[in-house]
Amino acid sequence: DVQMTQSPSSLAASVGDRVTVTCRAGQSVAFNLNWYQQKPGQAPKLLVFATSSLQSGVPLRFSGDGSGTSFTLTISSLQPEDFGTYFCQQTYMTPWTFGQGTTVEVK
Amino acid sequence: QVQLQESGPGLVKPSETLSLTCNVSGGSINTHFWNWIRQPPGKGLEWIGYVHYSGSTNYSPSLKSRVIISVDTSENHFSLTLTSVTAADTAMYFCARQRGFSSPFDIWGQGALVTVSS
């Protein structure tokens, strides 16, 4: 299985801050890396797919970058509604695997 | 627009079989890959497996011996069966669509909480 490791596990930032979450894969997953946002009591929501493609309807303040084994999700200007847990996922090889999640708190 | 909805018993006894169905509305199940994912309370996401509309399947090695995922194209739904459950199988179970083999999960159901307890 491809192990996915996210850092940090949690963070707190102020509105307007630039926030970056990192995801590292145990082996190369090429560009097959996706990011999801999950709010309490809800299903995950797709934000970014194939490393850097923004899902339709997702605000432009979200962006993704990386390749191979190292990836980032950046929120350029944190908004109050951006609280939640962010998960990375590789869809390079089965079993599809997820990172353990990064919880973002808006101060 | 395509929507997914999980249904099934919320309580299952240890050693028995968990069965859930994901109903696909607003579109046909006769395309794409259809996945099951679970999330224990307060924990992360675990992929269980998928069924392709053709009926081919792929399961997580850690659950493969206990899982069956099937598709019913006439009813436009797909199903999860997990046998010999224990308390460790207590989780929110989500179904999700995947357009292609390496595609992301772009549409998710709201989830169904299944508790394993006597």
Are A63 and A76 in contact by the 8 Å Cβ rule? The answer is yes
Summary mean pLDDT of chain B: 97
B110/A98 CB distance under 8 A: no
From chain B, the residues in CB contact with A34 under 8 A are: 104-105
- Tell me, what amino acid is at B96? A
Q: How far apart are CA A23 and CA A11, in angstroms?
A: 14
Which of A86, A94, A103 to mutate: most B Cβ within 10 Å? A94
**Token pair 């949690």 in the structure block, residue:** A10
Q: A10: which 2 tokens?
A: 């949690």
For B1-34, the pLDDT digits (tens) are: 999 999 999 999 999 999 999 999 999 998 899 9
Q: How far apart are CA B46 and CA B37, in angstroms?
A: 6
What pLDDT score does A84 carry?
A: 97
- Determine the distance from the C-alpha atom of residue A65 to the mean position of all C-alpha atoms in its chain, rounded to a whole number: 10
pLDDT-based confidence at B110, cuts 50/70/90? very high
- In angstroms, the separation between the Cα of residue B39 and the nearest Cα of chain A is 10
Are A102 and A7 in contact by the 8 Å Cβ rule? The answer is yes
Q: Which of B62, B63, B47, B60 is nearest to B98 (CA)?
A: B47
Please check whether residue B44 touches A, CB under 8 A: yes
Q: How far apart are CA B13 and CA B33, in angstroms?
A: 30
For B28-71, the pLDDT digits (tens) are: 998 899 999 999 999 999 999 999 999 999 999 999 999 999 99
- In angstroms, the separation between the Cα of residue B73 and the nearest Cα of chain A is 24
For B63-108, the pLDDT digits (tens) are: 999 999 999 999 999 999 999 999 999 999 999 999 999 999 999 9
